[in-house]
A and B are shown apart, each in its own frame.
Chain A
Amino acid sequence: MFTEFFYTLRKVGIPVNPTAFLRLQRALSMGLINSVDDFYTSARAVLVKSERYFDLFDQVFAHHFEGVELTDPTGVELAEAARALLDAWLKDPQALADALGIDEESLSKLSPEELIDYFLERLKEQTEAHHGGSKWIGTGGTSPVGHSGYHPGGMRVGGRSMGKSAVKVALDRRYRDYSHEAPLTRHHMGEALKRLRNMVPMGPKDQVNIDKTIYETMKNGGEIEIVFDRRLKDRLKVILAIDNGGWSMDPYIDIVQSLFDYARGQFKDLKTYFFHNTIYDYVWEDPPRRSKPFRVDEFARLDPETRFVIVGDASMAPYELMATDGSIHIEERSGRPSIERLRSIADTFRHCAWLNPKSEMEWPYTRTITVIREFFPMFEITLDGLEKMVTHLMSKN
């Protein structure tokens, strides 16, 4: 049962697995699901495991059980829908008025033409309110108020009547907001970065080693012998190089910096440098990039185990990256193209990463991103991207 529904879910990209599907079948055979509403909630709870897919699920559900198409409505379709509404109106004005929340009295005074206009207006309103989503009323001969066929007689809880059938609920697309990646809070990102740890024993011996204590106590014939150890401390060094040049990076500088600050307690050493667009001979320790230059050559003298993280959109004119003297700052003349500098950084620090605020989908359209990615591992600034970066930075080889 519902195999087609299952495959449609898979086709639109919701990761549903067969086990869950069988479980749904079990629920069906146990007689737990008695209406479309039951099916809607149960199928979602059993099959869909993240609120990000709730919106997609709603669309597929509406498509499957009401024949709503997965496309945006056009003018012709709207007109058709309006005509269908008129038909329904003529058959049973009260039902339609109830379903749409229109006052029957006021409408009954209008002529059919006026009615069509009125419905068209309403439909346009609806589609706009739904941001061009699925059509909220089915076409092609089906009754536009078909929802009411599924009226839930199910339990009412808390004295509240839902008064909406599952399809209508699905058509509401309440979960639209969750389908986009929600903005990250600092707390979440800080948590992700906390994994960047490299623990070694440090400091005074003030921690009891239970296993050793038991062992030594046994060896001592039961006379308690407590064994202390040094605490584990992180010795990881991190260099953060931030592109704070163009306005394109502005929204991200604050969040990136504060998230590394948040995780700072975890690191032995965190240095921050700034650059514009790409790195030439110098990076700067001060954000205005004026008073404290730092020679890029000197990076070679630092601990190669340092984690080198560049934050930037890596988007610039190709010559800025490839040409000698490519810098757009006139005073910044260098004998070597920036791409060589970046390569040498990637060679010096085997644990390096580039964090890019642009979404991964956009990367192939910017030439310089493609070039830099070839030798510099690049990650998105999202929770997933951060996780991947941390895994990459902490990998042994």
Chain B
Amino acid sequence: MPDDETPRRFTGAAKYVLDEELANIVNITMALEMPLLLKGEPGTGKTMLAHAIAENLTMPLIVLNVKSSMKLIDALYQYDTLTRLNDSRFRDSSRDVSKIEDYIKMGKIGQAFVSPERVVLLIDEIDKADTDFQDDMLDVLDQMEFDILEIDRTIKANYRPVIVITSNAKKDLSDPFLGRCNFHHIAFPEPDLMREIVQVHFPNIDRDLLDAAVNTFYRLREFKEVEKKPATRELINWIRALHADPDFRTKELVKGDIPYLGVLFKKSPDFALAQRYVSRFRL
């Protein structure tokens, strides 16, 4: 594999606050040329990390959103038989019907392989697919090549992409899969780090609002029996909502009035529960 460029190191990006530990793991994973498997609560920035790596290393980002019905071949390439049939019947395109190559379209993994430069390949929510898909895909990513049966050609990767895989599953992925990845679990940020994350997104945020919002947010996270706790993503959207409201005063938060609960709690049972808890704040 041609990989003669000097190894670049990942140091964070404009909209992503990176802790040292994670930066370390990303760098070592890139050096070892292994995929990095990320787990963690939804909304803690698993997907954002891939975007940040791409931004920081100025590499293009290719995203493969895994779906439950997906077969491996969909991620590699597609043979567009329908267009070919259409062309052969109506002859109204510039494509050459006798050349099957013209009807092969690269899937996301295929695109990452044929790309003329090194790319970041994000494989999002791998747990949605079945285990066979996961294992087969890792085979392809291990060997960095796959065959296109229809034209009997082997596609080899020009550059080994930086591969980031995310998973939301509580249960573990299969052992062979795990064996071929590096692993990191993104823990939920501590309040201090959270303040920084918010500041990155809202550089001009008022100090009092920031403190009040983050404090309230961590209080809300402590509610018992809530199925989907609000995460970083919800907090950012919530602050955006508070900003957009001209009538909002920071004092309300301190007093225990919490507007736009729906932004934070998205499931209806959670929302009802949260409302009950919040009404107790005002006492």
Contacts and interface: CB of A to CB of B under 8 A. Distances in A.
Tell whether A pairs with B. yes
A224 B34 CA distance: 47
Contacts of A50: 172, 178, 183, 185
B129 interface: no
B179 A17 contact: yes
**On chain A, which size bracket covers the interface?**
35 or more
B196 A159 contact: yes
A312 B200 CA distance: 51
B184 A45 contact: yes
B27 A156 contact: no
Interface stretch (A26-34, A98-106, A297-305, A344-352): A26-34
**On chain B, which size bracket covers the interface?**
35 or more
B206 interface: no
Interface in B1-58: 11-12, 17-21, 23-25, 27-29, 31-32, 34, 36-37, 39
A383 B171 contact: yes
Contacts of B18: 157-158
B179 A20 contact: yes
Interface string A18-50: 011001001100101100011001101110111
A117 interface: no
Interface in A144-201: 152, 154-160, 162, 169, 174-175, 178, 182, 184-188
Nearest to A210: B81
Nearest to B225: A183
Contact of A23 (B32, B88, B172, B175): B32
A160 B16 CA distance: 13
Interface string A359-397: 000000000000000000000000110010000000000
A46 B28 contact: yes
B111 interface: no
A156 B20 contact: yes
Given A155-B11, A155-B20, A157-B19, A41 B170 contact: no
Contacts of A182: 170
B24 A41 contact: yes
Nearest to A187: B227
B12 A158 contact: yes
Nearest to A156: B20
A214 B32 CA distance: 45
A157 B171 contact: no
Contacts of B28: 27, 32-33, 38, 41-42, 45-46
B171 A384 contact: yes
A162 B19 CA distance: 8
A284 interface: no
Contacts of A156: 20
A68 to B, nearest CB: 20
Interface in B72-127: 81, 85, 88-89
A204 interface: no
A54 interface: yes
Contacts, number: 105
A19 B179 contact: yes
Contacts of B39: 51
Interface string B195-237: 0100010000000000000000000000000011000000000
A335 interface: no
Nearest to A181: B170
A37 B18 CA distance: 16
A140 interface: no
Given A49-B181, A51-B39, A175-B187, A32 B27 contact: yes
Contacts of A26: 32
Given A50-B183, A160-B17, A160-B19, A154 B34 contact: no
A141 to B, nearest CB: 31
Contacts of B185: 50-51, 54, 175, 178
A387 B130 CA distance: 13
B193 interface: yes
B178 A49 contact: yes
Contacts of A152: 20
A169 B19 CA distance: 13
A48 B32 contact: no
B250 interface: no
B275 interface: no
Given A158-B196, A214-B81, A383-B171, A48 B183 contact: yes
Contact of A30 (B12, B21, B31, B85): B31
List the 10 shortest-distance A-B pairs measured between CB atoms, nearest first.
Answer: A51-B185, A49-B178, A158-B17, A41-B24, A45-B25, A45-B182, A49-B183, A42-B28, A383-B171, A157-B18
Interface of B: 11-12, 17-21, 23-25, 27-29, 31-32, 34, 36-37, 39, 81, 85, 88-89, 169-172, 175, 178-179, 181-185, 187, 192-193, 196, 200, 227-228
Given A15-B175, A49-B179, A160-B19, 18 more contacts: A23-B32, A30-B31, A33-B28, A41-B25, A44-B184, A45-B28, A45-B182, A50-B172, A50-B178, A50-B185, A155-B11, A160-B193, A162-B19, A162-B20, A182-B170, A184-B170, A222-B88, A222-B89
26 contacts: A17-B179, A27-B31, A30-B32, A32-B31, A32-B32, A37-B20, A37-B24, A38-B24, A41-B28, A42-B24, A45-B25, A48-B183, A49-B172, A49-B179, A50-B185, A157-B11, A158-B12, A158-B18, A160-B20, A160-B192, A162-B19, A162-B20, A175-B185, A175-B187, A222-B88, A383-B170
